[in-house]
Amino acid sequence: MNGAESLVRTLVAGGVEVTFTNPGTSEMHFVAALDRVDGMRCVLCLFEGVATGAADGYARMADKPAATLLHLGPGFGNALANVHNAKKANAPMINVVGDHAIYHKRFDSPLTSDLEAIAKPVSHWVRAGGSSLTVAADGRDAIVEARRYPGKIATLILPADTAWGEGSGPVVVPPQRARSRVDEAAVRDAAALLKHGPATLLLLADTALRADALASASRIAAKTGCRIMAPGANARVERGAGRVSIGRVPYPVDQALQVLAGVKHIVLVGATPPVAFFAYPGKPSTTYPADCQIHTLAEPHEDLGEALQRLAEAAGASASKPQFAAAKRPDLPSDQKLTPETIGAVVGALLPEGAIIVDESVTTGRNFFATTEGAPPHDWLQLTGGAIGEGMPLAVGAAVACPDRKVINLEADGSGMYTLQALWTQAREKLNVLTIVWANRAYRILRNELANVGAENPGRKAHDMLSLDNPALDWVSLARGMGVDGIRVTTTDDFAKAMKAGIAHNGPYLIEVVI
């Protein structure tokens, strides 16, 4: 058994069930090994950023890593933005990156690059395989590293000769350990801060945004009057009717400052202190009051749900009633113009139970959280690292992880163009993804930002650089080009009709909403 097959069998034995692939010549033995080994689903992606974004989406929903298969330094470059996003989502991921045979590197052939240096800035762990006999053990280590809580990026470089040379056979992968419990002192300290009522904010992130953890947090709030809130962008929030509805710190700095005014103590539960996404002249980098103190109940790698449960006990809130969102949907707008408000209402009115929302709406979607809080229970996934172009790939991964649920990707047109190749994978794998593209035909957020940084009255050149309307993108044609049916809508009625049809449709479908 060669190194490649030893590695693939190790991955399968370690519970890695899916590889998102974009292979090249140096990976051909790995491809051949994938071919021979049962238990690994291979999902072809036509661009590397689709593969890594899909692995992120898969990890968020499956709570375990997928593998990616990439090709040398430039291939990792293409994958890098969504590895960055996954890293900020604390998503586990195992990147297997083919490289030249070790003895071939010194000849500096065209695709030679410093793969290790390219991978390091966005990986927690990088190892270049040194021998076909040890590459299966390297794979085991990659699994162990990726699974380290709260989820790590492990990148294994696979020189071609370590794949085709004689291997060790599969090696045993230890089971994943349980998350660590927070110290009693941390619970006690946090509990002491709850006496300040609404001047104390529990800032919840990562697995503290799962339904049970949110229920504990809500009990604490009900009992003590403290506030609870989530960061602006989150890897996964369990929400909807019968669950706790949690507000998020707004993206615009002024709004964030306003929302956090009066907070004297922020208790971090898997979160980091609230900061501005970007710097702006004359505005602060942090968005909490100057006299606010930062405390930590639990870090992301710890058992956040258990920590909140203990905090509830310490606060005497175990029997308190969490504030669950009532089942309530907006009225379906009829015969109205498409605006962020009316489309938010349509989304809220029609969201199906168990949906997985992948939200890369950018400017258009800022009120969607409000219009959907009483919809049937669903998950909400966001772009965590700010590198736009992850929505469509995330939807691929979520759909692979959860084939029985509907994935609804709310996508800005500017962001969607970065990784539109994901639609082809959705068609090939017949993934149950409904993509809704908000066609405002502009980098709208940048128009706002141009004003925010103080650059007023943009001229023609600046306007052209932020506008996508010449020519207008035709998303229905783009989708058709990759085997996905779609429709363009310009009224609320047509949007509602299309959304119903898209939800009923088994497989990928795209709606272009012209706003």
Residues 16-75 that bind a copy of itself (CB under 8 A): 21, 23-26, 28-29, 31-32, 34-36, 42, 44, 46-47, 49, 72-75
Binding to a copy of itself by residue 321, rule CB under 8 A? no
* Other CB atoms within 10 Å distance of the CB of residue 334: 10
What kind and span of H or E run contains 26? none
Residue of 193, 482, 489, 499 that binds a copy of itself (CB under 8 A): 482
Residue 76 CA: distances (Å) to CA of 82, 136, 292, 307: 10, 21, 41, 37
* Minimum distance, C-beta of residue 119 to a copy of itself, in the bound complex (Å): 10
Among 39, 172, 261, 279, binds a copy of itself (CB under 8 A): 279
Binder of a copy of itself out of 264, 366, 480, 497 (CB under 8 A): 480
Q: Determine which residue in the list 350, 445, 513, 515 makes contact with a copy of itself, applying CB under 8 A.
A: 445
509 is an interface residue for a copy of itself by CB under 8 A: no
Q: Which is nearer to a copy of itself, 226 or 230 (by Cβ)? A: 230
Which position among 178, 335, 471, 506 is part of the footprint of a copy of itself (CB under 8 A)? 471
DSSP for residue 112: -
Q: Report d(CA 389, CA 395) in Å as an integer.
A: 11
**468 near a copy of itself (CB under 8 A):** yes
Say if CB 124 and CB 86 are below 8 A apart: no
Is residue 161 near a copy of itself by the rule CB under 8 A? Answer: yes
Task: Tell me the closest approach of the beta carbon of residue 245 to a copy of itself, in angstroms.
Answer: 23
Report the nearest approach of a copy of itself to the CB of residue 224 (Å). Answer: 29
Helices of type H across 417-491: 422-428, 444-452, 460-465, 475-481
> Residue 109 interacts with a copy of itself (CB under 8 A)?
yes
- Residues numbered 223 to 252 that lie near a copy of itself (CB under 8 A) are 233
Q: Which of 180, 255, 258, 285 binds a copy of itself (CB under 8 A)?
A: 285
Per DSSP, the three-state class of 257 is helix
Residue 153: strand, helix, or coil: strand
Place of tokens 């162990």: 144
Output the six-digit token pair for 427: 């068609």
- Where in 122-141 is the site for a copy of itself (CB under 8 A)? 122
Q: Compute the least distance from the CB of residue 267 to a copy of itself, in Å.
A: 19
469-478's contacts with Cβ under 8 Å and 24+ in sequence apart are 469/441, 469/442, 472/439, 472/441, 473/413, 473/417, 473/439, 473/441, 474/512, 475/413, 475/416, 475/437, 475/439, 475/510, 475/512, 476/510, 476/512, 478/420, 478/423
| Residue 150 within binding range of a copy of itself, rule CB under 8 A | no
Q: Which of 92, 151, 414, 502 binds a copy of itself (CB under 8 A)?
A: 414
The residues with which 412 forms a beta bridge, in sequence order, are: 438
Nearest-approach distance from CB 324 to a copy of itself, in angstroms: 30
Q: Taking the complex as a whole, how short is the minimal distance between the CB of residue 141 and a copy of itself, in angstroms?
A: 23
111 touches a copy of itself (CB under 8 A): yes
> Which stretch in 127-135, 235-243, 276-284, 363-371 sits in contact with a copy of itself by CB under 8 A?
276-284
Nearest one of 209, 234, 229 to 85, comparing CA atoms = 234
Minimum distance of a copy of itself from residue 155's CB (angstroms): 13
Asked if 72 and 113 touch (Cβ cutoff 8 Å), the reply is yes
CA distance 62 to 405: 13
Q: Is 441 in the site for a copy of itself (CB under 8 A)?
A: no
275 binds a copy of itself (CB under 8 A): yes
Q: Least distance to a copy of itself from the beta carbon of 104, Å?
A: 4
Return the residues of window 349-408 that contact a copy of itself according to CB under 8 A.
384-387, 389
Using only the alpha carbons of the chain, give its radius of gyration. Answer: 24
Should residue 290 be labelled a site residue for a copy of itself when binding is judged by CB under 8 A? no
Nearer to a copy of itself, 32 or 199 (CB): 32
| Number of residues binding to a copy of itself, judged by CB under 8 A | 103
CB crowding 28-58: b at 16 or more within 10 Å, else e: ebbbbbbeebeebeebbbbbbbbbbbbbbbb
Interaction residues for a copy of itself, span 163-182 (CB under 8 A) = 164
CB of 205 to a copy of itself, least distance (A): 12
Nearer to a copy of itself, 55 or 349 (CB): 55
10 is a site residue for a copy of itself (CB under 8 A): no
Q: Which residue, 244 or 423, is less far from a copy of itself as judged by CB?
A: 423
Which of 205, 198, 206 shows the shortest CA–CA distance to 222? 198
Of the candidates 197, 472, 504, 505, which one interacts with a copy of itself according to CB under 8 A? 472
Closest to a copy of itself by CB, 84 or 152: 84
Rounded to an integer, what distance in angstroms lies between the CA atom of residue 219 and that of residue 318?
Answer: 7
Compare residues 306 and 359 and give the one whose CB is closer to a copy of itself. Answer: 359
CB of 37 to a copy of itself, least distance (A): 9
389: left (phi > 0), else alpha (psi -120 to 50), else beta?
Answer: left
3-state secondary structure (DSSP) of residue 40 = coil
Select the span of 199-207, 272-280, 294-302, 492-500 touching a copy of itself (CB under 8 A). Answer: 272-280
**Alpha-helical runs (H) found in 199-339:** 211-224, 253-260, 304-314
Token code pair at residue 401: 């992880």
According to DSSP, the residues that pair with 19 across neighbouring strands are 42, 67
Contact indicator for 38, 64 with CB cutoff of 8 Å: no
